[in-house]
Amino acid sequence: MSTRTTGPGFVASITASVLFAVIFLLAGRLPGWGAEEVLGWRIVLTLALLAAAFPFLSSARAEWRTLVARIRRRPSLILLGALAAVLIGLQLWLFLWAPLNDMAMAVSFGYFLMPLSMVLAGRVFFADRLSNLRKLAVAAAAVGVAHEAFSSGGLQWPTLLVGLGYPVYFVLRRKIGFDNLAAFSAELLLLLPAGVYFILSGAHGLGAGDAGIFRGGALPEGVWAVAAIGVLGGASMAAYLLASKWLSLSLFGLLSYVEPVLLVGVSWLLGETLGWASLLTYGPILLALLLLSLDGRRRDTVLTARVRETGP
């Protein structure tokens, strides 16, 4: 992985994690909105945001042309793209459903499990190499995950769906060369019919009477939060997918530990509790984050020394 893209990839990953945490908090405080209806608006508004941004992004336009040309040469890619759309659609839905159904902590822990799965996927499918500090970070995180699985008598299905589903999605995208914003927007286009259906049939859709969005009058409570989720959803996924493209799969997976730390905080704000035993889960994981930070600083130091040696 080029050092020219590692720095921007790091920033993109952290930005995405913060925006995801904001979305998680907003979704958990929406009165009278179902996860499917919010998902519908998120799909529509994210697509609108990307459509508005693409004319100003020459790289995105080039990605679209390349995507269309590849599909023309190999139409079977549409099926693989549809599979990727289903995988990301499930994740987007679960992210909105969990905080509304007291499963925020289970999903948060899935995001702790995911980086370990990503590291394994990077080793198996792309031969990613790990520094000694990264190996220690993986080992520390594995201790935390193992303690959580043992103390809770197993992992809940939202945890497994996140922890195992996302690596499948990212490996598939890289294998078929769809790891860019154009491909993500194409996935959202495939999800658009379902999104429109969710909006129209939702609690504020066509059958909602005077309380519906489409009947005029006063807007329902929470509508601006839903709009914010849609806009932030586009920005966060753009940053997230850029990070997945610019970073090695193992480093991308390890940096993903920032998000679940923030999601646990959001879960606590939404009313879910953590016992003292959770220190044995989250303590090793926070240690993994510290080791990863040290590894990043060491690599930056080495890179700076090399630049000074070679000169301008």
The pLDDT value given to residue 3: 52
The pLDDT value given to residue 128: 74
CA pair distance 26, 227, nearest whole angstrom: 10
Q: What is the pLDDT of residues 175-232, one digit of tens each?
A: 888 888 889 999 999 999 999 999 988 888 776 665 567 666 567 788 889 999 988 9
CA pair distance 149, 147, nearest whole angstrom: 5
Q: What is the pLDDT of residues 82-114, one digit of tens each?
A: 999 999 999 999 999 998 888 888 888 888 778
CA pair distance 135, 42, nearest whole angstrom: 37
Where are the chain's structural domains?
A: 3-310
Each residue's pLDDT, cut to its tens digit, for the chain (312 residues) gives 555 567 788 888 899 999 989 999 998 888 788 899 999 999 999 899 888 888 777 777 888 899 999 999 999 899 999 999 999 999 999 999 998 888 888 888 888 778 778 877 887 787 777 788 878 888 888 888 888 778 777 778 999 999 899 999 988 988 888 888 889 999 999 999 999 999 988 888 776 665 567 666 567 788 889 999 988 988 888 888 788 778 876 677 677 778 878 888 888 888 877 676 778 887 887 788 778 767 766 665 554 555 445 544
DSSP class per residue in 12-44? HHHHHHHHHHHHHHHHTT-TT--HHHHHHHHHH
CA pair distance 291, 135, nearest whole angstrom: 9
pTM: 0.81
